[in-house]
Structure 1
Amino acid sequence: MRIAWRLAVGTALLGIAACEPAATPQPPPAATSGRITVPGNMYGANPPKPGQCLDTRNASVVDCAGPHDAEVINTGKLTATTMPDEATAATLTIPPCREKMAEYLGSPDMDATNLVAMPLWPNDQQWARGERWLLCTVAEVGADEKPLHRTGSLEGALQGNEFFRFQTCSVSSPSREARVRRGPCDGPHLGEALPGVISLGRPGSPMPGTDAMNKIAGEKCPGLVARYLGGNSGEVSTAWRLPNGESWNRGYTNLVCYAEASRPVRVRLRNLGQGPLPG
């Protein structure tokens, strides 16, 4: 089966460091748009179902055991009366898709990983034909923030120690740079996002002020870092990332704690204890 869609990938958290000035607020990246037009209303005839995998490049449903770049986690319909622009559509679709994503992955810790919600919706031609479908999918993104082709299902992927297969490691400084730049955890990196993301509110609720969010982070993140390290190291500091207004509107209502090394390391800081950084 072949279908046509638009897609949006969004990740957005700004950086605040413990005992450091706040970093410049970081807007979410523009929604990535892919438009593939196929004759006929193929989606309405045979829609993908939760648990099925997609090759968005070829607009097709594929076996999850083979290469794919998206996995369906929920389906729905858009209620907009006119064709929304990319930014509006992302704001409408990302929050409900993120909620379903946490259920599908088995943990709310997705913002500390390279797994992101990727909504898909009709392109212009499909909208003109009356199509209003919404596919919520999950994707694993790489250093360029684009979906990777991967194999295997992600259902229940964040349960137990499976989190560390998808953990975000940052080659940039989580406390000083506006954007987290992802990199492999077995390559040079400075920061490691920790399991145990902290909810600051429900999507649609008022966003707390920066001081209030920093207070929560300052109270909770040091303990998460110490637990992750198995002690306190003088070469590892506590950092965190907070949502800004635009990302909050897109459903990013969590803060993420980071362990940040004083120099790049090539192995995880987990269970480092009070020892020096690995060479």
Structure 2
Amino acid sequence: MSRQGLVLAGAALMVAVTVTSCVTEVDGTAAPPTTHAAAGHTETPSPSPTSPSDTPAPTDDGIAAPGQCVDGNDPAPVDCEDPHTVEITASGSFGGAMAEEPPGRDEVFAAVFPSCRQEAADYLGSSDFDLTTLSAWLLWAGEEAWDRGERWYRCGVVELDKANKAKQRTGSIRNALRGDGVHAHRLCSLTAPSEESPSPTPCDRPHRGEAVALVPMGERSDPIPSEQDFHAAAKEACDDAVVDYLGAPRDDVAAAWRWPDEGAWKQGFTNLTCYLQTDKPVTASLRGVKSSPLPR
């Protein structure tokens, strides 16, 4: 059953250079949060589960349940073996202050997305999913559905395409990051991470960046660290992380890092991300390359 009034948006770790804002439109909804970027030695709440008694009861009929999949803007379930964009990890309904008027995107993400990120970690099998092309996602009842009394939301997981949008795929990605799954789905970027937003691409195709490590910087309830704090943590951790990933120090591979802005921080993006970066594109992952020639 197709429904109108669906709001679909992802909060993948979209990024922007320095303080430039990066906003994308995902099915009509302003999507992910922004982060900041810096080159390092490159030289180059739980939402209310129920609604108050004086508000309409939520209607979930025909909405995909956890373990099911949806495709595009239609929240009706489809078989995960068929083409789909989002795999549902958790369900819930809004209540309290959100029950009277359709909530804004920022209000929804502040209330729900931190729990969606935890659900994504549990579902995918690793809390390191920010190093990969797999991301937490969020769908909720749009304005028309809200007016009909619907209060549902769904957490999900997706695979990102090169534009950081949900990619249509087949097959489940439950537990995809267990074992060596993080590397199998590692985020490699066409663009240099110190210069512009990472643009996901397979690691066996030309790329200039690879996400190598996450550095925890606190809890979302904490004040966001200063730019100086992010830089200090990155300089301490990212060089070592890149060397560990390569298997040996090299002069032709640099460390770079990116961090969340305040909005993303409040939504649960509390890690600094370390990347390796090359001057020219390489055509294979550099994990364990040591002193061998870079694959061109």
TM-score, normalising length: structure 2:
0.82
Per the alignment, in what secondary structure is the counterpart of residue 245 of structure 2?
A: helix
Question: Which residues of structure 2 form unaligned runs of 5+?
Answer: 30-56
Deviating more after overlay: 64-73 vs 50-59? 50-59
Match of 2:205 among 177, 181, 187: 187
Counterpart position of 1:138:
157
Counterpart position of 2:43:
none
In structure 1, how many angstroms separate the alpha carbons of the residues matched to 2:245 and 2:202?
A: 18
Superposition deviation, residue 230 in structure 1 = 0.9
Per the alignment, in what secondary structure is the counterpart of residue 24 of structure 1?
A: coil
The amino acid that maps onto 1:130 is G
In structure 2, how many angstroms separate the alpha carbons of the residues matched to 1:202 and 1:100?
A: 17
Counterpart position of 2:268:
251
Counterpart position of 2:240:
223
Counterpart position of 1:233:
250
- Asked whether the 8 Å contact 2:83–2:169 carries over to 1, the reply is yes
The answer on 1:8 being equivalent to 2:12 is no
The superposition leaves residues 77-135 of structure 1 with CA deviations (integer Å, 9 ceiling, x where unpaired) of: 22313211234333333222112111111111111111122111111121112211110
In the TM superposition, what are the counterparts of 1:1-279 in structure 2 within 5 Å? 1-4=1-4, 5-12=6-13, 14=15, 23-27=17-21, 29-30=23-24, 32-33=26-27, 44-79=60-95, 80-81=98-99, 82-177=101-196, 179-194=197-212, 196-279=213-296
Cα pair distance change 1:42/1:250, threshold 3 Å: closer
- Structure ranking higher in strand proportion: 2
Per the alignment, in what secondary structure is the counterpart of residue 10 of structure 2?
A: coil
The amino acid that maps onto 1:171 is L
Cα pair distance change 1:167/1:211, threshold 3 Å: same
The superposition leaves residues 209-233 of structure 1 with CA deviations (integer Å, 9 ceiling, x where unpaired) of: 1111221121122222111111112
The amino acid that maps onto 2:139 is L
| C-alpha RMSD over aligned residues | 2.3
Superposition deviation, residue 204 in structure 1 = 2.8
Cα pair distance change 1:63/1:120, threshold 3 Å: same
In structure 1, how many angstroms separate the alpha carbons of the residues matched to 2:146 and 2:74?
A: 20
Cα pair distance change 1:162/1:217, threshold 3 Å: same
Question: Which residues of structure 1 form unaligned runs of 5+?
Answer: 16-22, 36-40
In structure 2, how many angstroms separate the alpha carbons of the residues matched to 1:202 and 1:238?
A: 25
Per the alignment, in what secondary structure is the counterpart of residue 241 of structure 2?
A: helix
TM-score, normalising length: structure 1:
0.86
Per the alignment, in what secondary structure is the counterpart of residue 8 of structure 1?
A: strand
The superposition leaves residues 171-199 of structure 1 with CA deviations (integer Å, 9 ceiling, x where unpaired) of: 1111222x2222222221100011x4222
- Asked whether the 8 Å contact 1:11–1:29 carries over to 2, the reply is no
Per the alignment, in what secondary structure is the counterpart of residue 75 of structure 1?
A: strand
The superposition leaves residues 228-264 of structure 1 with CA deviations (integer Å, 9 ceiling, x where unpaired) of: 1111121111111111122212221111111111211
In structure 1, how many angstroms separate the alpha carbons of the residues matched to 2:265 and 2:21?
A: 10
Cα pair distance change 1:31/1:10, threshold 3 Å: farther
Superposition deviation, residue 2 in structure 1 = 4.2
